[in-house]
Amino acid sequence: DQEIWHSDSLKSNGKSSLLTEEASVNIYPIMLRVSVTRGTNALTVKISRKDNSAENFKRANKILASESEPVHIWDFSGRTTFILMNEWNRMPQDPRSSDQEMPLEIQFYDISEPPANGAAGRKDELALTMGSSALSNGGIMDMDLDSSGGICKQVGSGLIGLDNLGNTCFMNSAVQCLAHTSKLVDYFLGDYQKEINTQNPLGMKGELAYSFGDLVRKLWAIDGTSFSPRQFKAKLARFAPQFSGFNQHDSQELLAFLLDGLHEDLNRVKCKPYAEAKDSDGRPDEEVADEYWGNHLARNDSIIVDTCQGQYKSTLVCPLCKKVSITFDPFMYLSLPLPSTTMRTMTVTVFSTDGSIGPSPYTVSIPKSGDFKTLINALSNACSLRDDERLLVAEVYNSSLIRYLEDPSDDISLIRDGDKLVAYRLPKDSEGAAVVVFKSERMESSISSFGRKSWKNFGTPLVSNLPDTIDGRTIYNLLLKALTPFREPKDDVLDADQITGKSSSVNETSDIDMSSDAAECSSMNTNAGEDDMTTEGGMLFFLNTERFPNQRMKIEMDQTITLSNLQKRLIVSVSWQDNGLKQYNLDPLDSLPEVYKTVLFTRRPQETCSLYACLEAFIKEEPLGPEDMWYCPGCKEHRQASKKLDLWRLPEILIIHLKRFSYSRYTKNKLDTYVDFPIHDLDLSSYIRDRSGQMSNHYQLYAVSNHYGSMGGGHYTAYVYNDGKKKWYDFDDRCVSGLENEDSIKTSAAYVLFYRRVHGDTSLVDTETTTIVES
């Protein structure tokens, strides 16, 4: 019935005040805020260290009783609970230097009658029987007592949104999925603070767990509304700088960090023992798996391990000595590839160099993780390449070959969908020999700004293999042979003299030595202009080099051309006249298809696959990449072993990450494949290798993290099933809305799937309210 004064002990050294057990002085009055939770028989008391008057306490009395009758509250030693012990440590040591409110909620027995023990004599005041050391730890706890004396926390529906702080939808989506994981909700609404591990060097001194626990409690508050998770965001930025600022991030990456951080903050193991990993050495899988799992639990024991961690079997086989290595590793989530999009469709146009057949486009499918060698092998099979042939693959741009795919180890991602590729069939025995590349050009019909017509490249270059001896007539004959498929049948080709003409006075009889750089620089300054095209022939030949593309020299029929030993390609420009163009149909050279034709305002056909197909791709045996070579203990060398993964034991909460985002050194891409995933019964019985376990392998979907949009931006939301409402809800930042149709949660935006193990009945649990009871 009266406001009491709390006595803190402090000792002053003139500079700061420290809480001790000596020199007791009265500091500030304590304000009691008393409230009743309607429909219950319990009270909540909040104590503040903020300076105020006794009038506030009288107002609290009026709230409780309309007739302003005195309120009797009893408390006794040993019955007060404090939570969030570290909160006080972050407050100023001098209580007079801070005016902020520090609510402290105290548990007490039902007010209908006083307790039967010795504390009953003090009915007219609140007896706080805690010392200064207890109060110095401070804290906050929303706590009620039911009539039986058990601690019961009444929680809300969980339908509370999170404000977007600026590109934080990725965080909101992941948090909502975790905050509706029933086992984690039960845990963080309970007395989880007793498991905080502040000594773990791999953890965050418990601060991440405290912050996430506070976030969960706010999301499950009674009659709560959306709120701003600024404090939680600040903790993330502090311990994971990659999430600082306001850039868009990956919800799965945040989820991985958060689960790992919560595990370390809540790890029950204070001193981790060392355990050496042993190979299987022919022992039974069950024995080896239990050994690995036991070693893991000896160092890792938390609610996250209990709930979210499983184990898979990894098998490596040496391709030479056939050594088999089997290990069992824990996993927090499964990252599954999308099999329908692990392959890439590419179109390449194949040319013959002997004129036997015309150009023909071939479409092949190769793994997106493949290299140039993979593409060339697939293309060789598609065009029925003979054993005595090889392919020279190049990229065409502006009627020139700008890049040759000669390094077989280069990543296939270097080729874009809009590129144009050609492949030339060459004799296999000529590998390493030089080739001639014919670039076609013709006179433009319009007059340029300089008042004269100019030459312009057109079509796709043609390629032929060069013999040991080269002259102008050899060049001419090689071109005629390559042009055979394009010749108009009604006209006969002109002879060499008619085609090349004899009127040019430039270098009429001299030889061309391409082995000298000096000759390259000086001789090529003689350019053939429009005046050289006075003959009635169909074309003229000019010599170019890759080093000096803007310089060229006219080639005569009797001129000898000498290449340097290191020169691999001879670039020849073919200047066509009108009467020469009439003899050939060169239109196919102008209609080269792209690697993958993309049309504006149209979408590729929707690719679909099932979640089981993703699992099959995950456990499929594959060779390791050249950058992931395995050190074989049998060969004592690194080998490109084959690797296979199998699921061994599954967790209570199974998190499945669909690998929609692909990265390489040069490109990044998002896959919009529609994955058909089960909602009510994900049956993994056929995927589990451990047949000795008695746990159910059936799972039920309860949350989905979605990503809409492209790789560089987009938006994250979450679909969550609410047990109390028996309904799916869409959590879009602060907006929460119900979904009428359950199947609407299946979209191509599904990114992270959250499943919980189903024991017995596979129907969703029908629960009207969520209540956590502690004895």
Phi, then psi, of 583 in degrees rounded to 5: -85, -10
Q: How far apart are CA 653 and CA 755, in angstroms?
A: 6
Q: Closest Cα partner for 148 from 42, 246, 1, 8?
A: 42
Q: Closest Cα partner for 255 from 597, 703, 711?
A: 703
Q: Closest Cα partner for 651 from 383, 297, 147, 358?
A: 297
Q: What is the bridge-based pairing of β-strands 470-471 and 334-336? A: unpaired
Question: Is there a contact between 720 and 729 (Cβ–Cβ < 8 Å)?
Answer: yes
Phi, then psi, of 644 in degrees rounded to 5: -135, 135
Residue at token pair 């071109």: 479
Q: How far apart are CA 213 and CA 188, in angstroms?
A: 5
Q: How far apart are CA 561 and CA 469, in angstroms?
A: 8
Q: How far apart are CA 367 and CA 373, in angstroms?
A: 12
Q: How far apart are CA 216 and CA 213, in angstroms?
A: 5
- Which of the residues are catalytic? 169, 715
Q: What is the bridge-based pairing of β-strands 771-774 and 151-154? A: antiparallel
20: helix, coil or strand? strand
Q: How far apart are CA 466 and CA 569, in angstroms?
A: 9
Taking CA 731 as the corner, what is the angle to CA 727 and CA 733, rounded to the nearest 5 degrees?
Answer: 165
Q: Closest Cα partner for 658 from 666, 646, 649, 670?
A: 670
Q: What is the DSSP letter of 486?
A: G
Q: Closest Cα partner for 632 from 643, 622, 621?
A: 643
Q: How far apart are CA 203 and CA 272, in angstroms?
A: 13
Q: How far apart are CA 82 and CA 186, in angstroms?
A: 19
> Torsion angle of alpha carbons 604, 610, 613, 615, nearest 10°?
120
The residue type of 302 is S
Tokens of 587: 């239109």
**Which uninterrupted H or E stretch holds 400?**
strand 400-404
